[in-house]
A and B are shown apart, each in its own frame.
Chain A
Amino acid sequence: MARLDGEPAGRGSAELLRFATAGSVDDGKSTLIGRLLTDAKAVFEDQLDAVERVSRARGDDYTDLALLTDGLRAEREQGITIDVAYRYFATPRRTFIIADSPGHVQYTRNMVTGNSTADLSLVLVDARKGIVEQTRRHAFLASLLRVPHLVLCVNKMDLVDYERDVFEAICDEFADFATKLDVADLTFIPISALQGDNVVQRSASMAWYEGPSLLHHLEHVHIASDRNLIDPRFAVQWVVRPQSASKRDYRGYAGRVLGGIFRPGDQVTVLPSGLTTTVTGIDTADGPLEEAFPSMSVVLRLADDLDVSRGDMLCRPHNHPTVGQDLEAMVCWMTERPLVPGMFVAVKHTTQWVRAVVREVHYRLDVTTLHRDVDAGSLGLNDVGRVSLRATRSLVYDPYARNRETGSCILVSEETNTTAGAGMLLGPA
């Protein structure tokens, strides 16, 4: 099969950046996304025609770009966003996937979902209103989900006469709040989504601002170091055993590299069994590889004929993840029936399912004030809190702060099969 190495140097070799946005109707988020999509020519004439037609029919006196992302009938009828919507646009340098969450309905659930895969989270502030409750919630959830890059766009600068002082006061207040969060990279950009200032082009109205435009920042922010390249982790997804006569002796372990770098000749330990062996080859349909790094889907061949199956984790002999049944996690609860001690849930972590019982709800966290309510005792829909779980079998995991892939899990209702919670694992209790 052809190799992707042979692809043209143009867009084919561009990088992918996923970013999350959230906000309410009036903070200009739809206008901003609409402008990015329009300027990047990711909105098509038939889509704009449809939006204009519906806006007119509803009696709006402007073209409501929110209709571009609000695809469901109920959303258009009620003028609200119900669910995370995914939008796509590209520049020659990068391809972008926007996970756009609604501002109010199911706010926490959707923000957590959108941010779980994001490289960058974009928070919008109205320059006239400054930091509000919602800004703090956005920023906290982005930090809870360990989104590596946070961008605070101070929007509607045109309505405050492009005043530097207004922008800087907002930045100071936010930076103060951000000291309570785990934010690795924080960027402030003054914009006017409506006028286009600092969205795609640098603004002539804000000569005092020396930073990049939003699009320039999105195109250039350094994301290559965001993943964990230190701790090799590989969760076995599927054992490849061809049935054809010529390949009957072939046995490989398919999966995705979740951390670190694997090379042929590396010694690896299989967890939870603890047996050690050597990587004899890294295979793909395009041929063998000299090394495999995070998010690559590959097949590893091992020297010894060990009992390795789906759910097992490969790591290096002197760099082990935690193996244990007692789990501590920050949990965002996403379903009506509350999470209470004694409840059983199904847990999916890397490539395995286990059952777990909720042992204790230590506290519920107010996502706006960061206050811990230790008397809560349960987590309701859209609550975030710290929880102890005991699993029926050991999980092989890292703290979420160390690795978003090996430190995350979902909690699934055993009654309804719906995804009821998002878990971010902490170190062992």
Chain B
Amino acid sequence: MSPDGLGRAGRYQLSQLRALESQSIHILREVAAEFERPVLLFSGGKDSLVMLHLAEKAFWPARPPFPVLHVDTGHNFPEVLEFRDRRVAEASAQLLVASVPEAIAAGRVAEPQGPDASRNRLQTPVLLAAISEHRFDAVFGGARRDEEKARAKERVFSFRDEFGQWDPKNQRPELWSLFNGRHRPGEHIRVFPLSDWTELDVWEYVAAEELEVPSIYFAHRREVFRRDGMLLAASDLLPLRDGEEVFEATVRYRTVGDLTCTGAVESAASTVPEIIAEVAAARVTERGATRADDRTSDSAMEDRKREGYF
């Protein structure tokens, strides 16, 4: 025991970013130790980049003992895919891609039809097929509780049955730092190491750790059009409707998803500190501003999560 241990108590307090980092590393290590086949969901978006960075730190100087998995709708931003491949190579990680277009071609799922068709929902069966094919028993996701109200009720270790379903009314109590990952064969646990992080924490951590993020997070000139109050990228994938007009604007993305349902925000923020200032002053949540997939109803996220969505 150090003679001055108590007297210098003030010294022994982690800053909030370090406290969050330490908690996430603890979670990553628990999973590696207790599960046979974990996998880390990786889209190249900021949350999954922070998660991969934390995984590198957690097992340093060894490499993270699990592969990364991207569920690719085939409608991703090319800049993000290029970034994804570069970052995965840098981490010397194994990248698995669960492809929605391949699942459509094989007839396992059908291309959605209709005016608001999006492949967003198809990610769930494709993810579940990959989990079952590779027999993954733990799946790391970058979801945060501050993102959305159904996610505010999510556990760090979230039990999924053989169909990948989430039962929000029947969740395991989660006490102290004692996570319960027990499950039967065929069931799995979704693990959310960033549960307690906020959007602002993520950006401040990106700044503090000097992490590189895809270019679409920063202000750039892009051809866009307005639909349901959101700015969507002009693309062959999104035929214009009556009254919609393409124009060029200075925009950036707050979330990285399928380009058919992820909106841009008008912004001049071109550096991480400028993004932090913008996020700190933001009056609308990142998903509220930019995700058509959450807008279909008040329970859109809960419904998708019940089916096994991220």
- Contact surface of A with B, Cβ cutoff 8 Å: 1-2, 4, 6-8, 11-16, 44-47, 50, 54, 68-74, 76, 82-88, 90, 94-95, 97, 109-110, 112-113, 116-117, 223-225, 227, 229-232, 237-238, 240-244, 247, 250, 254-256, 260-261, 263, 283-286, 293-297, 299, 310, 316, 319, 334, 346, 348-349, 351, 404-405, 408-410, 412, 417-419, 422
A47-B182 contact, Cβ under 8 Å, with A15-B16, A71-B149, A254-B29: no
Bound form: Cα–Cα A310–B33 in Å:
8
A71 to B178, Cβ gap below 8 A? no
State which of A83, A237, A412 has its C-beta within 8 Å of the C-beta of B180. Answer: A412
A408 to B57, Cβ gap below 8 A? no
- For residue A414, which residue of chain B has the nearest CB? B182
A11 to B209, Cβ gap below 8 A? no
B204 to A284, Cβ gap below 8 A? no
A238 to B298, Cβ gap below 8 A? no
Q: Which residues of A contact B186 (CB under 8 A)?
A: none
Chosen A-B contacts, 8 in total, with CB atoms closer than 8 Å, are A44-B284, A72-B169, A88-B198, A113-B173, A227-B12, A256-B26, A285-B60, A404-B176
B5 to A230, Cβ gap below 8 A? yes
Shortest Cβ distance from residue A279 to the other chain B in the assembled complex, whole angstroms: 13
Q: Which residues of A contact B184 (CB under 8 A)?
A: 417
A71 to B10, Cβ gap below 8 A? no
B182 to A295, Cβ gap below 8 A? no
Shortest Cβ distance from residue A378 to the other chain B in the assembled complex, whole angstroms: 19
B153 to A85, Cβ gap below 8 A? yes
- For residue A296, which residue of chain B has the nearest CB? B22
- For residue B157, which residue of chain A has the nearest CB? A419
Q: Which residues of B contact A261 (CB under 8 A)?
A: 2, 5, 12
The reply on B145 being an interface residue by CB < 8 A is: yes
Contact residues of B between 86 and 133, Cβ < 8 Å to A: none
A238 to B175, Cβ gap below 8 A? no
The reply on B241 being an interface residue by CB < 8 A is: no
- For residue B201, which residue of chain A has the nearest CB? A95
- Contact surface of B with A, Cβ cutoff 8 Å: 1-2, 5-6, 9-10, 12-23, 25-26, 29-30, 32-33, 53, 56-63, 145-146, 148-153, 159, 168-169, 171-180, 182-184, 195-196, 198, 200-201, 204, 207-210, 282-285, 288-289, 298-299, 302
B15 to A238, Cβ gap below 8 A? no
B18 to A4, Cβ gap below 8 A? yes
A232-B172 contact, Cβ under 8 Å, with A88-B146, A238-B29, A296-B22: no
A54-B298 contact, Cβ under 8 Å, with A44-B282, A238-B32: yes
Contacts beyond the supplied A72-B150, A73-B299, A88-B196: 13 A-B pairs with Cβ under 8 Å: A2-B210, A11-B16, A15-B15, A16-B19, A87-B146, A87-B152, A88-B145, A88-B146, A256-B26, A294-B12, A410-B178, A417-B183, A418-B172
A44-B1 contact, Cβ under 8 Å, with A71-B153, A90-B200, A237-B29: no
Bound form: Cα–Cα A84–B145 in Å:
12
- For residue B53, which residue of chain A has the nearest CB? A1
Shortest Cβ distance from residue A259 to the other chain B in the assembled complex, whole angstroms: 11
B5 to A242, Cβ gap below 8 A? no
Bound form: Cα–Cα A71–B196 in Å:
16
Q: Which residues of B contact A409 (CB under 8 A)?
A: 178
Q: Which residues of A contact B289 (CB under 8 A)?
A: 46
- For residue B182, which residue of chain A has the nearest CB? A417
A85 to B152, Cβ gap below 8 A? yes
B29 to A297, Cβ gap below 8 A? yes
- For residue A97, which residue of chain B has the nearest CB? B196
Q: Which residues of B contact A11 (CB under 8 A)?
A: 16, 200, 204
- For residue A256, which residue of chain B has the nearest CB? B26
Bound form: Cα–Cα A113–B10 in Å:
28
State which of B9, B17, B30, B210 has its C-beta within 8 Å of the C-beta of A225. Answer: B9
Q: Which residues of B contact A8 (CB under 8 A)?
A: 207
State which of B2, B21, B60, B61 has its C-beta within 8 Å of the C-beta of A4. Answer: B21
Q: Which residues of B contact A256 (CB under 8 A)?
A: 22, 26, 177
